[in-house]
């Protein structure tokens, strides 16, 4: 099983454990078409269920109505290949599953919904390939659904009905508390908020980098004076004295 599917399955199992009290050992109720799909696609059901249910113990169950449905399909079928698959599916139900008795006139789908319609108090996992039955079960709270998708066994995420039921249960628990319990919950929430603020204050703050400023004019190196020039643009020539000539010689001359 891939990591993503295993993580989603753990999350779903935890949800039903907390909200619906569905815990190991699990009860997996198989529909007739689910058993037929497993036989046709050669799915090792015990191995796949063991991994999907995180290695917890489980038991397989089937309704008497599902076995009756398989009998009727076998009697109406004429293709030998299909008959062999249907016969193997029925034998799997008889050998590997515990049989749940129901009303003799109940259909396979109605039989399953009758077992879970009152909040699924027995904690059944329903394994089915029937889309119409799956839609009906999704409208009921606290009913985990298993299905095959191209020989991959999947546990569906909790339905909207299950999530709404969980939220209403939490609200009823809150409103059903006395004043002392409500005050305790308020104090715990206030403590958590205070602790979070204290952790935020203790966290070292990032120092902002100072913005670049103009250079200090006193620390700048002064530019060298450019060579003075005449207004005409010509450089002024300096006269040099000749060596050995004095002011006396100049007077004599």
Query: What's the pLDDT tens digit per position in 141-197?
Result: 999 999 999 889 999 999 998 888 877 666 655 555 667 766 777 888 888 888 888
Measuring CA to CA, which residue among 128, 119, 152 is closest to residue 16?
A: 119
**Within 13 Å, how many C-alpha atoms sit on residue 175's CB side?**
6
Max intra-chain CA distance, the chain: 158
Dist CA 249 CA 223 (whole Å): 44
Nearest-Å Rg of the Cα atoms of the chain is: 44
pLDDT digits (tens, 9 = 90+) for 100-151: 998 878 899 999 999 998 889 999 999 999 999 999 999 999 999 999 998 8
b/e 40-61 (16+ beta carbons within 10 angstroms → b):
beebebeebbeebbeeeebebb
| Structure-model confidence comparison of residues 95 and 165, the more confident one | 95
pLDDT recorded at residue 252: 47
CA distance 109 to 65: 8
* Tokens 């009905």 -> residue: 161
What backbone phi and psi angles, to 5 degrees, belong to 27? -115, 115
**pTM more than 0.75:** no
């Amino acid at each position: 099983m891939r990591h993503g599917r295993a993580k989603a399955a753990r999350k779903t199992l935890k949800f039903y454990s907390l909200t619906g009290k569905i815990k190991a050992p699990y009860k997996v109720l198989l529909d007739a078409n689910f058993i037929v799909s497993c036989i046709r696609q050669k799915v090792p059901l015990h191995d796949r269920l063991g991994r999907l249910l995180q290695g917890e113990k489980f038991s397989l169950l089937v309704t008497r109505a599902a076995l009756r449905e398989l009998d009727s399909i076998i009697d109406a079928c004429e293709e030998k290949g299909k008959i062999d698959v249907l016969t193997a599916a029925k034998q799997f139900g008889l050998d590997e599953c515990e049989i749940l008795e129901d009303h003799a006139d109940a259909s396979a789908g109605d039989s399953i919904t009758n077992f879970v319609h009152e909040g699924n108090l027995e904690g059944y996992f329903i394994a089915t390939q029937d889309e119409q039955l799956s839609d009906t079960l999704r409208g009921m709270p606290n009913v985990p659904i298993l299905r095959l998708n191209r020989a991959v066994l999947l546990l569906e995420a909790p339905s909207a009905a299950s999530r709404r039921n969980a939220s209403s249960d939490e609200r009823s628990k809150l409103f059903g508390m006395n004043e002392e319990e409500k005050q305790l919950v308020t104090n715990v929430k206030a403590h958590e908020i205070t602790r979070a603020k204290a952790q935020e204050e203790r966290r070292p703050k990032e120092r902002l980098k100072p913005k670049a400023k103009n250079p200090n004019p006193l620390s700048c190196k002064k530019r060298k004076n450019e060579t003075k020039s005449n207004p005409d643009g010509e450089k002024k020539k300096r006269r040099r004295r000749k060596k050995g000539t004095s002011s006396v010689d100049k007077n004599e001359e």
